[in-house]
Amino acid sequence: MSPQLLIDISALLASFLFIYGLKRMSSPVTARSGIVVAGWGMAIATLAAFLYYFGVSEAAKPHLTVNTALAVIALTVGVSWAWWSGKKVAMTSMPQMVALYNGMGGGAAAAIGAVELLKTGGHHGPLPLVVTIIGSLIGAISLAGSLIAWAKLDGRINGTWRIKGQQLLNGTVFLATLALGLVIVFGYHGHAPAALTGLFFALALVFGVLMTMPIGGADMPVVISLYNAFTGLAVGFEGYVLQNPALMIAGMVVGSAGTLLTLLMAKAMNRSVANVIFSNFGPSSDEVQGEIKGSQKPAEAGDAAINMRYASKVIIAPGYGLAVAQAQHKLFEFVKLLTDAGVEVKFAIHPVAGRMPGHMNVLLAEAGVPYDMIYDMEDVNGEFKEADVAIVIGANDTVNPAARTNKSSPIYGMPILNVDQAKQVYVVKRGQGKGYSGVENELFFADNCNLVYGDAQKVMVAMIQAVKSLDGGH
């Protein structure tokens, strides 16, 4: 068997295993085996890639030993670093890690494009060149954008960066990049000087940064999902250039799946993707909000706990703050005390609770909360009026009634959890800060709402102690 035939078979096998693996990942029952199946596909394809050794071009033969050594080093370093960092990252930081790995994929696709464009000996027709340019452009944007998204979610870049005429600047940079790409294809027929190719990539990277910087943190999940689709497309296009069907299929499957996922996420936040990218949560929202009536009333953790112990129905609305405080285990301990006392407890999950759709489910699953206690927003929203107590832990924008009523609010129209309809609302939060979108929350000023200030984990411990001492005294 020729090495090329083995490569072709491995590519076919990998494509099958990827699709079959993704299919298995789409059901909770088979999800775990799905990633293992896809993993085998990756291992086979990567090992088979060493068979390219036997088929390199004449010009590359003198460099083959060095190139192979470089490949082994790059693989070893890349895999070990990613394996180590992926193992040690906390569950709460998962979204930014996904962003980081995704950016790396985009960078790799751009690198393939760069090498192809630098090859002066190649006889490329215009079509493969155009595809190379587009793949490189998308890959480079995904790399730069994902890195900014990672830095923002990781707290390395705070706030948003906006200037006057930003969209004009972004548009100009994008058109300049595109024009330069056209010059490389049709002006130089792929034999452009390295400096010009370098400038093309530099502009594409700058555009990726410019495009992502003004987007607020609350919109980041949608942006990461969009860049995930971008990287998929870039990989698919570069796969066409390299005539590798495995890259084409895997890239395009991810490109379309990622696009659909992006639309679903944007829909859950009641925003369009164009809205996320081009007009952002305005910093001037405070001025138009008008004054909020009422005052914020504090409550002791112990009192709140005892109130819940004697309630018949309690609904919990967890948010990212819960996960940041690592309080989900203590929360579940408290919930078990309540259910032992005969209280009906439900978890209400907003579609964008956490930092990505489904992120909060993962975090609660980590704490051992059983599935039948966790409800999606649509299923549980009608039950808040019957609930004696609704407790909000580390969530803010997803429970802000302004989204229903205040047309001038930047989050107007976003579906929210109807916690304000419960007889009593407790909000556990660290201080009097605003939500991730920077919007003041009317809920905190409502008559039926009390705020329990403190670190979520410490508050949960105090609540557990209060209930335990109460039941111990009986």
Nearer to another protein, 176 or 257 (CB): 257
Site map (CB under 8 A) of another protein, residues 263-302, x = contact: -xx--x----------------------------------
Residue 20 Cβ, how far from another protein at the closest point, in Å?
10
Under the binding rule (CB under 8 A), the answer on residue 231 touching another protein is yes
Which residues touch 113 (CB under 8 Å, ≥6 apart)? Answer: 132, 133, 135, 136, 139, 234, 238, 241
Q: C-alpha angle with apex 100: 163 to 349, nearest 5 degrees?
A: 85
Number of residues that bind another protein (CB under 8 A): 129
Q: Which residue has the tokens 């009634």?
A: 401
Q: Stretches 104-112, 149-157, 442-450, 457-465: which one binds another protein (CB under 8 A)?
A: 104-112
Q: Stretches 32-40, 157-165, 388-396, 434-442: which one binds another protein (CB under 8 A)?
A: 32-40
Subset of 316-355 contacting another protein (CB under 8 A): 351, 354
CA atoms within 13 A on the CB side of 441: 26
Q: Out of 36, 163, 168, 288, point to the residue binding another protein (CB under 8 A).
A: 36
SS3 content of the chain, % helix, strand, coil (to 5): 65, 5, 25
Under the binding rule (CB under 8 A), the answer on residue 145 touching another protein is no
Under the binding rule (CB under 8 A), the answer on residue 461 touching another protein is no
Q: Out of 150, 200, 207, 240, point to the residue binding another protein (CB under 8 A).
A: 240
Nearer to another protein, 56 or 168 (CB): 56
Under the binding rule (CB under 8 A), the answer on residue 60 touching another protein is yes
Q: Out of 175, 202, 260, 288, point to the residue binding another protein (CB under 8 A).
A: 260
Residue 448 Cβ, how far from another protein at the closest point, in Å?
29
Residue 172 Cβ, how far from another protein at the closest point, in Å?
27
Nearer to another protein, 351 or 454 (CB): 351
User: Which H or E run includes 392?
Assistant: strand 389-393
What are the beta bridge partners of residue 450?
A: 426
Under the binding rule (CB under 8 A), the answer on residue 118 touching another protein is yes
**CA dihedral sign, ordered 234, 239, 245, 250:** negative
Q: With H, G, I as helix, E, B as strand and everything else as coil, classify residue 424.
A: strand
Q: Out of 141, 192, 210, 248, point to the residue binding another protein (CB under 8 A).
A: 248
Name the nearest CA neighbour of 413 among 292, 303, 266, 283. Answer: 266
Which residues touch 39 (CB under 8 Å, ≥6 apart)? Answer: 21
Query: What distances in angstroms separate CA 375 from CA 91, 116, 429, 471, one per listed residue?
Result: 21, 50, 22, 29
Tokens of 279: 């007009």
Q: C-alpha angle with apex 466: 365 to 398, nearest 5 degrees?
A: 45
Q: Which residue has the tokens 């995704």?
A: 102
Under the binding rule (CB under 8 A), the answer on residue 25 touching another protein is yes
Radius of gyration (C-alpha) of the chain in whole angstroms: 26
User: Which H or E run includes 304?
Assistant: helix 301-309
Under the binding rule (CB under 8 A), the answer on residue 5 touching another protein is yes
Nearer to another protein, 39 or 413 (CB): 39
* CA atoms of 345 and 334, how far apart (whole Å): 11
Under the binding rule (CB under 8 A), the answer on residue 381 touching another protein is no
Under the binding rule (CB under 8 A), the answer on residue 8 touching another protein is yes
Q: Out of 13, 16, 108, 324, point to the residue binding another protein (CB under 8 A).
A: 108
Under the binding rule (CB under 8 A), the answer on residue 82 touching another protein is yes
Q: Out of 180, 211, 254, 456, point to the residue binding another protein (CB under 8 A).
A: 254
**At residue 391, what are phi and psi to the nearest 5 degrees?**
-120, 125
Question: What's the start-to-end Cα distance of the chain, in Å?
Answer: 80
Q: Out of 166, 256, 421, 465, point to the residue binding another protein (CB under 8 A).
A: 256
Site map (CB under 8 A) of another protein, residues 354-373, x = contact: x-xxxx-xx--xx-x-xx--
Mind telling me the catalytic residues? Answer: 397
Subset of 165-224 contacting another protein (CB under 8 A): 194, 224
Nearer to another protein, 146 or 212 (CB): 146
Q: Which residue has the tokens 């004449």?
A: 58
